[in-house]
Structure 1
Amino acid sequence: MQARNDWEASATRLRGNVHHLFEELAALTINQPIDPEHEEDDLIAWLSELCLLSNVPYHYLIPSESLLPNNAIRLFYLNPNWQQALVDGACSLGRNASLDLTHDQALIEAVFAKIGKRMKAVRPLLQKKALLSEKLEEGVQVIGGFIVRSPLVRGWRGLEFRALSSEGKPLRALRIETLSDDVLIGLFDGVPYTLEIAQPPEGFFFGFNRFNGQFFKRLRSFETGELLAESDTVEVAVHNEKRRTIDVCQTVKNMEEFFQKDAFTSAEFALQMIKTPYIGKVIRNDEA
Structure 2
Amino acid sequence: MNRGASNIWPWLLLMPALILFSLFVLFPTIGNVYFSLTDYAGNIHNFDFVGLENYKRAFTADYDGVWNAIKITLIFCITVTILQNAISIVLAVLVNQKLKLSSFYRSTIFMPNILGILVVGLIWTLVFDPFSGPVSQLLNHFKINSALLGDSKIALALVIFVQVWAHMGYSMVLYLAGLQSIPKELYEAAYIDGASGWKSFRHVTLPLLQSMVTINIILMIIGTLGTFDIIFVLTNGGPNESTMTLGMYIFTKIFSGGSSQGYASALAMVQFVIIFCVVFIAQFYSRRRETEF
Same fold (TM over 0.5): no
Q: Which of the two has higher C-alpha Rg?
A: 1
Say which structure, 1 or 2, has more relative contact order (CA 8 Å, 6+ apart).
2
State TM-score, norm by structure 2.
Answer: 0.23
Greater share of helix: 2
